[in-house]
Chains A and B, each alone.
Chain A
Amino acid sequence: MTKAVATISPTRMELIRLRRRIELAQKGHDLLEQKMDALMMEFLGLARRIRVKRKEAFGKLLEAHRKLLRCMAWMGTAETIQASLETARELELEVSSRSIMGVRVPMVEEVRARRKPTERGYSLHTGSALLDEAALQFEETLSALCGLAEMEEAVRRIGRELERTRRRVNALEYVLLPRLKSMVAFIAFRLDEMERDNFARLKRIKAMLEGREWRK
């Protein structure tokens, strides 16, 4: 701290310059704080929505597993696995990118996961009704899980941006601005001191001159 203080020259120019820097830093701080507030709002909103979506998606998933177990019990595990491997497994997601305050986040548009039994590709077995049910439920679950994945990815990235922004805000508020302000205080004090010294000197000179005049 003392090192920095020693290198600044206590001039009026410097004071003006510093005051301008403070103004800019303060403005920067306020703007970044706004961004931080907005990010926090997004973050909390997403967290809330994730909790809701999880209940829905995981609920569907559990139901899907129940149906699968029923199918395996009826058809046999090996047969069910066989059917799964026979299925046409080329499901595609349409993924695009969106931005939340500059944070790139993936977005999944409508997933056409639901298929008709004939579209799935496995050959018809006995007990295929149970197989169809299980397959359908897993398809439904997938749609919900895609929406959830999107949100979880977003919340993670926003969390990171939020932390970065907060660090900048704190650096301004707790390091830069106080430092600048104390430099201003120092210069103001020194200028004041020099002025008082000057004033005292002038007084003495004046007294000397008056003294000479008087002796004349």
Chain B
Amino acid sequence: MEEIVLRELVRLNAHLPKRRVSLKEALEKPVVELADGGTHQFRRSELELLKSLLPEEDWDSLKIPILIEMDPKLGRGAGRIRGKLECRVVAKVLGKQEREELVLYLPELAELRGKLQTTTEYLFTA
């Protein structure tokens, strides 16, 4: 049974892209390759939304997909957002106060995922 669990854990973050791309890159080519070999397409409408939330000079600094870190230490149903630009964008989307680091709880996570379905993704950390 433990091998099954280990296998699950190994693939726990295999859905993440091999390399995140900047908003600028994504606007040109809205696809990324995932660690498990698959591809992930960004929705145009979401890229447009992200564009509207940041000045042009920041477009090549914002990395997408924006990662939502699920850390058991934060408790169940909580996720963390890191990165100045990432936090700014998320705060704007949710209508929250901007911070260096954001910890979001269930209802906010649900809202964020609803609005940025293809440009956010979960990251599981121990």
- Interface hub of B5, B9, B70, B109 (most chain A Cβ within 10 A): B5
Q: With A33-B76, A97-B40, A102-B36 as given contacts, are A41 and B5 in contact (CB-CB < 8 Å)? A: no
Please indicate the chain A residues that have their CB under 8 angstroms from the CB of B113 in the complex.
Answer: 41-42, 45
Please indicate the chain B residues that have their CB under 8 angstroms from the CB of A37 in the complex.
Answer: 70, 76-77
Q: How far is the CA of A44 from the CA of B47 in the complex (A)?
A: 24
Q: With A25-B2, A33-B76 as given contacts, are A98 and B118 in contact (CB-CB < 8 Å)? A: yes
A102 & B15 in contact (Cβ 8 Å cutoff): yes
For the complex, is A31 an interface residue (Cβ under 8 Å from B)? yes
Please indicate the chain B residues that have their CB under 8 angstroms from the CB of A193 in the complex.
Answer: none
A45 & B110 in contact (Cβ 8 Å cutoff): yes
Q: Pick the contact of B8 from A45, A168, A176 — CB < 8 Å?
A: A168
Please indicate the chain B residues that have their CB under 8 angstroms from the CB of A96 in the complex.
Answer: 31, 39, 41
Q: How far is the CA of A32 from the CA of B38 in the complex (A)?
A: 22
Q: How far is the CA of A96 from the CA of B39 in the complex (A)?
A: 9
Q: A28-B8, A98-B40, A101-B122 are in contact. List 18 more A-B contacts (CB 8 A).
A: A28-B9, A32-B5, A32-B8, A34-B71, A35-B122, A38-B70, A41-B106, A41-B109, A41-B110, A41-B113, A44-B110, A96-B41, A97-B38, A98-B117, A102-B14, A165-B8, A171-B1, A176-B2
What would be 23 A-B contacts, judged by CB atoms less than 8 Å apart? A31-B126, A32-B12, A34-B72, A34-B124, A35-B12, A35-B122, A37-B70, A37-B77, A41-B106, A42-B113, A44-B110, A96-B39, A96-B41, A98-B117, A99-B34, A99-B121, A100-B117, A102-B11, A102-B36, A109-B43, A110-B44, A165-B8, A171-B4
